[in-house]
Structures are given as structure tokens and as C-alpha cells.
Amino acid sequence: MIVAVPIPCMVSNRAQSVAAAPRMMSAKGNAILTMNPIIKAQLNEFKKSNPDHAGDEADNFEVMSLFAVENGILGENIDPFKAHLKGHEFGLDGIAILIQGELCTDSDEASAVLATGRNHTSEFHFFQSKTSDKMDYGEVSKFLDAVFDFFTDLSLLSGQQIEDLSEVRDAVFTSATKSNPSLKCYYCTTGTNQISEPIKKLIDANKDRLEALSVFESVSIQTVGAKEIQEGFRAATNSTSATVNFPKAITLPDHEKVDQAYIGYVSADQVLAMSLEDVDGDGIQHIRRNVFYDNVRDFNPDSEINKSIIAELEAGDYSSFVFKNNGITVVARSITRKGDQFNIDDFQIVNGCQTTNILSHVKDHAVHISVPFRLIGSSDSDFVSSIIIGTNKQNEVREDQFWALLPFMKDLEVYCRAQETDARIFIERRDNQYRDVSVERTRIMKPSDLMKIAAAMLFFQPQRAARDHRGIRKEFSQRIFQEKHSVELYHMIALALYKFDYMVRTGKTDRARVIYKFYILFSLVREKWTSPDILDASPKSQLAVIKYVMDIIQNSDKFSLHINKVGEYLDILVSQSSAKTREQIRDYIRTESFAEQFIGSYFEGPRHHRTTPKS
């Protein structure tokens, strides 16, 4: 979906660029100067945590600043490397398209999210990062021209990532029947976020022309300086903490898995203090999404019941709220009490998303409103998960939380973390589990990611792995993550997924092969095992498959050869069809008939078929 709107003349004015001293240039044209010492230290920490990311200082700063904004300032939980643009795109360093908070990099990922629920909320985030401490008029102009181009005729932007992201864009607009997506643009530097008058006029003019497209709920263009990046990075890498004034707290009965717990009521301003972000560049105070179990985007302020509650509070009926509301439950890893002051660390609000959203609409009156409040301190992750399930019985349990409760998942998490550095994977059984741990972000894997790759590699369903999220969960929920299963097999498939993404991210494999990802990974197991029952095979047979697959994926040359061999064969099969555009190809290879054709010819036909399938 391209919005056909004439582009006003907005040529970069180099004459207004800020004068700068001679400097080295990165591959993308970023100036490499003496960097802010705090940013430099944080960048070094980020590089140390992500050693597999190749790139110069400017390239690493692009990813780190994106991480600081998304995971710190905005409170999202995404892999910044997936939002980072790897090529030499005009004016852009990163694009994050979020649907219901899920980062979507291609139409398959978008379709999987859109297939669940309705009235989805979507956001477009664009990034340009410069290591310079100066803000260059021409570079800002290029950035905003690139953003506008993405939503119009794509005359400035090109490349495989842009093509994939444009398909996500189309999916967002097609599904935007109830509400329009929002647009946020971030220009990051290592200096201050103060802007000159010419740049302010440039930003205002571009905001007007983006709003004129009439496709966005809101448009925000912000400059992000060293201070904001520093604070964002700290927020993204430290556990959440807060102080709550909780007078007349009543101690709850003892429990072997609970360190301490209290019940009572608190003033609504205390709830908002722990759940709202600082005011952003547009003067808006958003909810801290990362502290909620529920998806804060599911709240609908226009529903009749929510409008009614907000209207009662605005009319001054404060005293009734505590009797009508179910209250808020907060679970914290640690609680320190000093009188009525409770310092809580690594906490999550597991029940109270709707309550908090309502209170945020009447925050000027919060001090007059009382809220039922329950505070539980426990470091037992399984018990915390059971609390989340118990307090959300009226809601559909999120898939990742469902899998996280299974005993097998804890064993798998321990096993994957204990591997040698190059084979290590971090299974995230709880949102933001590794927020305050120095780990490589790309090695963090959610149970739902494992479900997808298991569908392809263990259950031989490569055609369904990318999109049929709901169907796969329903069909295989009783056959996956069982206590008797081999943790080595699951580690193997998790590492295979990581290694494939690594090959693409580092340019060792053509990005065009991403469309075949699940077929390529499925083929690794299918080469050594002919039926979708490897989970039930003997330990000896399983070890033979694991050894074969690990030998390939841990050797970049061998893995590259495998990727290209399968990819080239798939290219030939696709060329014999009527599918021409990338979206048509995606749809075609997701069909049962294509999967049967591939398996029947590649694995079951004569050995010479590997290079030339029959028409």
C-alpha cells in the first residue's frame, strides 16, 4: 500500500549544516569523533554483551541508541539488531514496526500477530543515529525525507529489508479499521537534544507533511541527545524499581515460596508513580509497558464501561472507587520495608492494567483516590508464574506464560545457559528476565520462538511455522516441551535459529534467503531423520541427529553451503510457479502442496534432483 501524495520540495540544505572539524567516517558515513565519555562506556558495555555483532563504532552506536530508545525510553522488549538496517539505506539506520508490541520484520510475522485478537494497535518507529555531538541540518532533512519516502513512492529507499518492511506496512494499514497506527521518528546524537531554529522549522514542516498523509493517529519527531540515551540505556539494562508509600499494610500469611507479602490499599498517585514513564519530548507521560503482564495496548478508553468509570472520577466521586475496583497485584523479586515506605525491585504488575490506564486519565485527582493493593515478594519464578495465571483466570493466558510454567522449560533454560559461549542460548521464561543481565540480546529466545522452530524442525511443518501460530499451538501443545524430552534436541533447534539469523545479520548469507528460513532449517533434520517423530526416538538416534546438525550450524562455511544449496533448489521450484512478487512467493511456499512437492523431490527423488528439479 503506497500512499500517493506529491512530495513537497524539501531538499537538504547543506549550507545550513553545522561546521565540524575534520573527522573519520564510518561505512555508513557517520562521523567518528571523540565521544561523550558516558556514552563511550555504555557503548563498550553493549559491544561486550554482543560480541558477535561485527561493525565499527558508529555502526554499534546505531544499534545501541535504538536499544536505548526502544527497550529503555519506550519500555519495549525487542531485539534491536532485528530493527537495525544492515545496508546503506538513504537517511535511515533503523525501522521498528510494532503490532501489539511485537516487532514485525516481514509479512509472516505481521500475519501471525494479526491472526490473534482484533482491534490491533500498531506503531512505526524510525531511527537515524550519528556519533557526532552536532546536529546537522542536511542529515536531519535526509532522515525525514527517508521517512516520508517509506510511506509514499519508495524512490529513495531500496533493498531486501525495505521490501520486507513495506509488506509489514501494508499489512498494518490493511488491518487499521478501528484505529490508525502512530508514527515516531528519533534522530539520535551524542550531544544535546537542543535544536536550532532552522532545524525546528524543518521538523515542523515535515511533521505537517506526514500528518497530511492522513494515515497516522499521531506523528512525533524527536531529537535524542546523550543524556536521553544514557538514561534509556540504564533503564533498558537495569531491573525495574520503585518506592511505594503503603500505610496500614496488613501482612499476609506465611508461604514457603513467598518472602513477604502485604495487602491493603494505597493512594492512586502511588500506583501511577510506579507505572508511568517520565514526560517525553512531546510532553506526554506514557505507561511503563515493561512492568505489566497484560498488554497495555489492549486497553480501550472508548469502551462504555471505561468511559463510565472515568466520568465518575472526573465528576468527583473518588470514595467509591476502592469499593468497586478489583485492585492491583504487584509481584517483586525483593522488598525492603522502612516504616510505611516499601522499596521494591524487579517488579511486575500482574493484575491491574485496566485500573492503571483508567487512573492515568484522571491523574490530577489521583491523590484523592484509594486503590486495593496487594504486594508479594518472591524470587521463585515458577510460583510467580502461577500467581500471574491465578490472577488472570478471566483472561486468555499468554502463550509464553503458558509454556513457561511447564517443568521442562526450567530444565531447558538451565541447560542452554550452561553451554559454551558460542552455543549459549538464553530462554526467556518471563518478560524482561534478562533485562539487568549482561547477555547478547540476539541469543535471547522466547518459548513462542521455540514453538515456531520446533514446528519446522521437529514436527516437519516448515510451511506452517511462520504464520500458523494458533493452529500450531493447538495441534502440538500436548506433544511439545514434555518432561521426558531431550533438552539437547531443543537446544539444537534454538541454536540453529540463532545461527541462521546470525548468518543473515552478519552478511554471510544473502538476506533473500530469509523467506525460506523454516524450509532451510527443517532440511537440517530431514537429511538425517525421515519422519516427524524424532522426539520419541531412542537417545542414540537423537544424538546422531544432534551431532549431524550441530556440526553444520557451528561451522559457517558448512552452514552457508547448506543454506545456499536448499535456497537455490527452492528458487527453482518457485520459478516454475506463477508466483512473482515476494508476497506471492511467501503465500505460495506456505501451501501444503508446495511443501509436499519440495519434500517429495528434494529428499525422496533421485539424488541428482538436488541441483535440477524437474519442471
Q: Are residues 392 and 412 in the same domain?
A: no
Span 10-67, pLDDT tens digits: 444 333 333 333 344 444 555 444 688 899 999 999 988 888 776 788 889 999 999 9
Q: Are residues 416 and 544 in the same domain?
A: yes
Q: Are residues 213 and 265 in the same domain?
A: no
Q: Are residues 165 and 259 in the same domain?
A: no
Span 346-365, pLDDT tens digits: 888 888 888 988 999 999 99
Q: Are residues 50 and 174 in the same domain?
A: yes
All three cell numbers of 348? 511486575
Q: Of the residues 396, 418, 452, which one is the last residue of a structural domain? A: 396
Span 229-276, pLDDT tens digits: 999 998 888 778 899 999 999 999 999 999 999 999 999 999 999 988
Q: What pLDDT is attached to residue 294?
A: 58
Q: Are residues 392 and 404 in the same domain?
A: no
Q: Of the residues 356, 373, 396, which one is the last residue of a structural domain? A: 396
Residue with cell 493466558: 397
- 276 in any annotated domain: yes
Q: What pLDDT is attached to residue 21?
A: 35
Q: Are residues 22 and 71 in the same domain?
A: yes
Question: How far, CA to CA in Å, does 216 sit from each of 80, 174, 181, 212, 399?
Answer: 24, 13, 5, 9, 30
Count of other CB atoms within 10 angstroms of residue 308: 9
Domain total in the chain: 3
- 449 in any annotated domain: yes
The residues, any chain, with a CB within 8 Å of residue 606's CB and separated by 6 or more, are none
Q: What pLDDT is attached to residue 611?
A: 43
- 1 in any annotated domain: no
- 467 in any annotated domain: yes
- 510 in any annotated domain: yes
Instruction: Tally the C-alpha atoms within 13 A of residue 548's C-alpha that lie toward its C-beta.
Output: 15
Q: What pLDDT is attached to residue 280?
A: 66
Q: Are residues 589 and 453 in the same domain?
A: yes
**DSSP per-residue string spanning 339-363:** TTEEEEEEEEEEE-HHHHHHHHTTG
Q: Are residues 107 and 89 in the same domain?
A: yes
- Domain with 413, as residue range(s), is 400-610
Under-50 pLDDT residues of the chain: 1-27, 31-33, 607-612, 615
Do the Cβ atoms of 565 and 433 come closer than 8 Å?
A: no
Q: Of the residues 184, 213, 237, which one is the last residue of a structural domain? A: 237
Q: Are residues 66 and 211 in the same domain?
A: yes
